[in-house]
A and B are shown apart, each in its own frame.
Chain A
Amino acid sequence: MMTRKDLVLVLSPRVECHTPENVYCFDSCLRKQMAQTKKTKTTSYGVLRELKAEILSERIGEEEKEEEGFCYRKTSLKMQFTLEFGGGLELLCDSVKIHKVNINLLNDSDILTMKDLLSWVRTNLIKERPEMFMKGDTVRPGVLVLVNDCDWELSGQLDTTLEDKDVIVFISTLHGG
């Protein structure tokens, strides 16, 4: 019998949040579905099967269920990163300049890209005014990103693959000189 904890929370874009309680579903359809299913305390196996099918067809969402018989678990990869914020960006993260973070990756591919990391940062580290850090999918124009001391534009920007123990620096250039 699978318990609540065993059912792994899979979410877009394939990164599990640091604290399992704070998972976010970025797919609005699934969110609606979750809302619907949460209304009824007892969820039928049929709904679960539907969700499983959706997850398997690469639409990811989150749901915690206490139902029996359903378990979906992927291989997990833990990665450690050092994130630095400069040029005023640290004010968006409680004035902490350096963050050492652990990210659990749940994915078919063992690859974590900058795109994944950015959503993770927006969700977990940016405590206020996210529009100062990100615009759409990527960082706000005017924010310099260095991955292991190398400008990310040279390594593919959002598609840059990250490895364990990488150092990523975000510096804002948007202030007087």
Chain B
Amino acid sequence: MEAGEEKSKKAGGECFYEVFEEEIHQVIVGNRLFKFGERVAIGASGGKDSSVLAYVLSELNRRHSYGLDLFLLSIDEGITGYRDDSLETVKRNEVQYGLPLQIVSYKDLYGWTMDEIVKMIGLKNNCTFCGVFRRQALDRGAALLKVDKLVTGHNADDIAETVVLNILRGDIARLSRCTSITTGEDGPIPRCKPFKYTYEKEIVMYAYFKKLDYFSTECIYSPNAYRGFACEFINDLERLRPRAILDIIKSGEDFRIATTTKMPEQGTCERCGYISSQKWCKACVLLEGLNRGLPKMGIGRPRGNVNGDYKDIKARSTAKTIESKQCGSLDF
């Protein structure tokens, strides 16, 4: 971020946003994120990252003739006082940037809103439900729009937090995937993150100078999220040594998993056909838990078979040592 600022100061009068847009263009071209003529959906929540993403992408699409067909895809989790307000912002963005909007809601897809889910499970593990459901919802929405690719506004701070979070939880499978700029290429819809090397501060400054319209409040359930610790840690680190964020991402990219580690294999969910490393995908497990009034199902360390015909592979790991535990089955 400081490098960007200094760049703009040195380059006599060249303004901050030109440098910012140019950097994003270089990331897109250098990593070959898009092909000419692709249909691309932008995951838009109405927050700062997705609003800036929508603006910059439509700008660059025009300026450098990427030839992309852009759409806005928004997910309604049903969080009153947060999501209903931010959706208004996305609707305004639809008009301001001239991009068609598609809204997908949890209620339609799963029959549950986040408010109802939280009432059932309490204030812990909310992000687990929301995140898992959102991933699937984005894929469903992308399929409805018949797009080739999905872009999200994850920035450098987010990715650094994810790396730290996965280390703190021992989730090796995710650790190996989380720093890729494009993920899910072998799945239904690949996703990419053009802001992977962009600091959150740069995005906020860009939005401020360009006077972009965005919604800025924390999700009401987020104070209880585990990610909060990683977030605070990253912010304190950034204050001391701003380059640390990019360095964490670099470390994440260079991680190589020992060949002796047991890694989950990717298959498909028996119930819904979605990509999954277990017999049932996480969303199906969580939904089943909700519908049967067992909010703890799918959360935390398994204690044997919950359901006669559903075999949890994790339940079979009865070994006592940490090394032999299946990836991602460590609980906190």
Q: Which A residues are closer than 8 A to B by beta carbons?
A: 86-88, 91, 141-142, 144, 146, 149, 151, 153-154, 169, 171-177
Contacts and interface: CB of A to CB of B under 8 A. Distances in A.
6 contacts: A86-B208, A86-B216, A87-B204, A173-B201, A175-B216, A177-B155
Contacts of B153: 177
A177 B201 CA distance: 12
B5 A87 contact: no
B200 A173 contact: yes
A172 B52 CA distance: 16
A176 B208 contact: no
A161 to B, nearest CB: 19
B218 A171 contact: no
A155 to B, nearest CB: 11
B217 A175 contact: yes
Nearest to B218: A175
B50 A151 contact: no
Interface residues of B, number: 32
Interface centre among A153, A172, A176 (most CB of B within 10 A): A176
A141 B236 contact: yes
B45 A176 contact: yes
Binding site of B, secondary structure by majority: helix, strand, loop or mixed? helix
Given A86-B216, A154-B5, A177 B209 contact: no
Interface in B3-52: 5-6, 9, 45, 47-52
Contacts of A176: 45, 47, 218-219, 222
A146 B239 CA distance: 16
Interface of B: 2, 5-6, 9, 45, 47-52, 153, 155, 158, 200-201, 203-205, 208-209, 216-219, 222, 231-232, 235-236, 238-239
B217 A88 contact: yes
Contacts of B45: 176-177
A151 B7 CA distance: 13
Nearest to A176: B47
A141 B235 CA distance: 6
Contacts of B155: 177
Nearest to A169: B208
Nearest to B152: A177
Nearest to A153: B2
B148 to A, nearest CB: 24
Contacts of A172: 216
B217 A171 contact: no
B47 A175 contact: yes
B239 A144 contact: no
Contact of B209 (A91, A149, A174): A149
Contacts of B203: 173, 177
A174 B200 CA distance: 9
A86 B209 CA distance: 12
Contacts of B158: 177
B76 to A, nearest CB: 14
Given A141-B238, A177-B155, A177-B203, A88 B47 contact: no
Nearest to A84: B208
Contacts of A154: 2, 5-6, 9
- The 7 A-B pairs at the shortest CB distance, nearest first, are namely A177-B49, A141-B235, A177-B47, A142-B235, A177-B48, A87-B216, A175-B218
B194 to A, nearest CB: 13
A141 B242 CA distance: 12
A144 B47 contact: no
Interface centre among A142, A153, A169, A177 (most CB of B within 10 A): A177
A110 to B, nearest CB: 28
